[in-house]
Structure 1
Amino acid sequence: MRRILLFLTVVSAISTLSNSALAENPTPPTAYYWHNWTDHNGTSHMTRCPFHNYVLKTMSKPAGPQWQDRLKEGQAQIISTVQPPHWDGSWHPDPKVQWIIPLRGTWYVTAMDGARVEMGPGDISLGEDQMSRKDAKGHVGHFAGNVGDDAVTLMVIQTDEQPTVDQPCRFK
């Protein structure tokens, strides 16, 4: 019993030190998203981008503080999609600047430059290839589809952002 109490005391002390160290010198986390963007030639690309401006604060008191990176305020449309097994997205641009978050399953995006990225739960993509133009093969935007034999569930958040050109990792 004495050993258990000693162990719990040590664990509590370590936890208190860790929490006080966090409060005194918090280090923002590192998180990434994939950005499907268009260059000035109308060619789409996939670039891995970091979220940059994390601030430790509460979203709603009395909830404790959490790291937040507020990218942009504005209007948004939230859509839940389920792509059936073997779904084929063919070549197309995103309809709006939109965040795409896989909830179940794995899907892929192939940009016009040939870069292919597979994404599953925990990954985030920013689709912004509206300014792409048909290439010599007739490709425009991106080609997307499911990986494997299962359906893929995505959360899509369409924004009121205007698409940009030559701005990979635009949220800096």
Structure 2
Amino acid sequence: MVLPPAGALAASAQATPQTPPRLTYHHVWTDGQGVSHIATCPLTQFVLKSMSPPAGPQWQDRQPDGRATVLMTVQPPHWDGDWHEDPKVQWIVPLHGRWFVQAMDGTRVEMGPGDVLLGEDQNTRPLPSGPMQGRKGHLGGNVGDGAVDLMVVQMDIAPTVDRPCHFR
């Protein structure tokens, strides 16, 4: 199954001072059997307020506070991530180029600038049989011939199991 882009950029066109936006993100998560999946999830807890008065109000959906590390990465042309788990629970935002992620259940999503992915596929287990035998985590790689620039925000939190879309 191929999922459409999450549509993070489209939400800005929907927002008005009276109507909160609805952003979506893709979430790579692990079920109780250790198999990774990809869900498309909403962010819906927006509040209209200033981030720093006297700046004007803007819609904000504050995620849990905590320690985080921001990485800027450049995947060279034709980068192939092979099968692996995310090293930490991490938000991934493409800045330039297109890349893909495929879960162990076969679901695949392609993303470009403005799309958002939450990688949380720790705790996967290699599948004993079938077309994904021996694989764990997710497969990732570039789409097309160019490099892909990503912003990665790794959070210092424990990964969850059986909780798709747990960030709202």
Normalization by structure 2: what TM-score? 0.87
Q: Give me the whole-angstrom Cα distance separating, in 2, the residues matched to 1:162 and 1:67.
A: 28
Q: Give me the whole-angstrom Cα distance separating, in 2, the residues matched to 1:115 and 1:52.
A: 24
**AA paired with 1:168?**
P
**AA paired with 2:47?**
V
Larger-gyration structure (1/2)? 1
1:127 is aligned to: 119
**AA paired with 2:28?**
N
Note if 1:155 corresponds to 2:141: no
The gaps in structure 2 that reach 5 residues or longer are 1-15
Note if 1:88 corresponds to 2:80: yes
Q: Give me the whole-angstrom Cα distance separating, in 2, the residues matched to 1:37 and 1:91.
A: 15
Give the structure with the higher percent helix: 1
Percent of matched pairs sharing the same residue:
62
Note if 1:164 corresponds to 2:164: no
2:65 is aligned to: 73
Note if 1:44 corresponds to 2:44: no
Deviant stretches of 4+, over 6 Å: none
Give the structure with the higher percent strand: 2
The gaps in structure 1 that reach 5 residues or longer are 1-21
Deviation at 1:27, TM superposition (A): 1.2
Deviation at 1:71, TM superposition (A): 1.1
Q: C-alpha deviations, 1:88-133, integer Å up to 9, x for none?
A: 0000000000000000000000000000000000000000001111
Q: Across the two proteins, how many residue pairs are aligned to each other? A: 149
